[in-house]
Amino acid sequence: MRVVDLLDQVRDLWAERVARRLARGESVRESFQDELRRYLDLLRHAIVSGDPAWLNEILDEWTAAQTQSERERREASLAPILGHILLSLNTVARENLNHEDALELIGAVLPIHTHAVHYSSQKETEIYVQHIAGELEQARSTLERLDTSKSDFISVAAHELRTPLTLIEGYSSMLLDNFPTDDQARERVEIMLKGIDNGIRRLREIIDDMIDVSLIDNDMLKLNYQPVWFNQLLGIVRQEIDGIITERSLNFIIEKFPGHDEMTFGDPERLYQAIWNILTNAVKYTPNEGTITVSGRRLPGFIEMTVTDTGIGIDPDVQINIFEKFGHLGDVSLHSSGKTKFKGGGPGLGLPITKGIIEAHGGTIWVESEGYDETTCPGSTFHILLPVRKESPDNKVNKLFESISGEGPAGIEQTYEEVKESIAKETSWLKK
């Protein structure tokens, strides 16, 4: 075959030219020339057979030989090498063959070279994707270990701190009870003991929050379902928070929205805790003389409650992160020490606990805000969506077991259909 004869004429010169251009050092050059000769042999077979796939084997080997740093930087190491190989052929062919023969040889090699570039690039991309997938899996495993370690630390620390805190609380009470009756001295000591008591209360709240987070992380949060009315919960919270509202000169508005006086089943203590966390969060990030409005609406199968404030707002990039453990807004070092003062401090557990409580009830919570700005105060709106339950889930479970035990397989099938129908009715509004 004429093209093969032309290739054989320039083969050794071609390999030497490429090796001189790409390899430095005699030993490296010799090893590189051996690889080039293999490549040219396979190229010869590809020309004879008309099948460029003859080069795939050596291209696979070259691609797999990329170093870790090349993969991390995604260096397309074969493309420049293959480019130099083609350019060297062009030079050697023009120097050692007449014009027509050089064109014929280059024309025969060019489509095979195109296949080699395309194939090697595809293989390098596959290897890079595998490398990235491995790194992502490693990162995921590391994050899971860190999250587990963090949860374990919270659980252990909370339980270990409870004992010394109880001791401090007990001895503080004993000091007050056994202190001499001298009025002036007792007054001074009472002031100091009251400070200790305030610190103990704050520590106990933090420890209780840590324990709640640990329960939520381990799916161990237990709910005591009872009849609940949102207007009653809001009324209790209003009484508890009234002093803070007055101190901060805030406008606190509770609107009567559809569903606010409707009975549903839930854990009143946990729902109170969730609403309290949302409202105190609004207080913390709303400047003095701002407004906090509680409203909502009735949806098919659900009640949605909203808490809107005229506070500093939340950047869209962190609106999901604030529901994670130890999440904070703004610079923590600039937070005030008071829990309900403007930009008051805290461990960042209130919103994660609230999210866990709401989700344990079968609901969801999210926030909307135009952004974070302490000057213009764009404000935020927290949405709490809870299912309306006309019966305690515990009663439904008991009835399910009674139906199963009393009616056999037919009862199971009937109960299953009833549950499906109930779920379809409660969630039909989602499809609209």
In three-state form (DSSP H/G/I as H, E/B as E, the rest C), the secondary structure along the chain is CHHHHHHHHHHHHHHHHHHHHHCCCHHHHHHHHHHHHHHHHHHHHHHHHCCHHHHHHHHHHHHHCCCHHHHHCCCCCHHHHHHHHHHHHHHHHHHHCCHHHHHHHHHHHHHHHHHHHHHHHHHHHHHHHHHHHHHHHHHHHHHHHHHHHHHHHHHHHHHHHHHHHHHHHHHHHHHHHHCCCCHHHHHHHHHHHHHHHHHHHHHHHHHHHHHHHHHHHCCCCCCCCEEEEHHHHHHHHHHHHHHHHHHHCCEEEECCCCCCCCEEEECHHHHHHHHHHHHHHHHHCCCCCCEEEEEEEEECCEEEEEEEECCCCCCHHHCCHHHCCCCCCCCHHHCECCCCCCCECCCCCHHHHHHHHHHHCCCEEEEECCCCCCCCCCCEEEEEEEECCCCCHHHHHHHHHHHHHHHHHHHHHHHHHHHHHHHHHHCHHHHC
Window from 122-126, 188-192, 236-240, 280-284 with minimum mean pLDDT: 188-192
The mean of the pLDDT values for the chain is 79
pLDDT in tens, 41-98: 888 888 888 888 888 888 888 887 765 555 555 555 677 888 888 888 888 888 888 8
**pLDDT of 404 above 70:** no
- Above pLDDT 70, what percent of the chain? 75
pLDDT range class, residue 347, cuts 50, 70, 90:
low
Cβ(216)–Cβ(202) below 8 Å: no
pLDDT range class, residue 426, cuts 50, 70, 90:
very low
What does the pLDDT average to over 300-329? 87
Say what the pLDDT of residue 340 is. Answer: 64
What does the pLDDT average to over 193-206? 77
Range picked from 77-91, 147-161, 356-370 for highest mean pLDDT: 356-370
> Which amino acid, one-letter code, is at 383?
H
Window from 87-91, 224-228, 274-278 with minimum mean pLDDT: 87-91
What does the pLDDT average to over 167-176? 74
**pLDDT of 336 above 50:** no
Window from 180-194, 372-386, 417-431 with minimum mean pLDDT: 417-431
Say what the pLDDT of residue 321 is. Answer: 84
CA distance 348 to 209: 10
Tokens 């109960």 locate to 415
According to CATH, the superfamily of the domain at 226-390 is Histidine kinase-like ATPase, C-terminal domain (3.30.565.10)
pTM, rounded to two decimals: 0.53
345 vs 95, higher pLDDT: 95
Say what the pLDDT of residue 327 is. Answer: 60
**pLDDT of 380 above 90:** yes
What does the pLDDT average to over 220-230? 90
**pLDDT of 317 above 90:** no
Window from 210-219, 221-230, 393-402 with minimum mean pLDDT: 393-402
Range picked from 109-123, 140-154, 180-194 for highest mean pLDDT: 109-123
The packing angle between helices 99-178 and 183-217, to 10°, is 140
Domain ranges of the chain: 2-142, 155-217, 226-390, 394-431
pLDDT range class, residue 429, cuts 50, 70, 90:
very low
291 vs 159, higher pLDDT: 291
**pLDDT of 301 above 90:** yes
- Above pLDDT 90, what percent of the chain? 28
What does the pLDDT average to over 228-232? 93
**pLDDT of 144 above 70:** yes
What does the pLDDT average to over 24-37? 67
What does the pLDDT average to over 414-420? 51
**pLDDT of 25 above 70:** no
What does the pLDDT average to over 256-273? 93
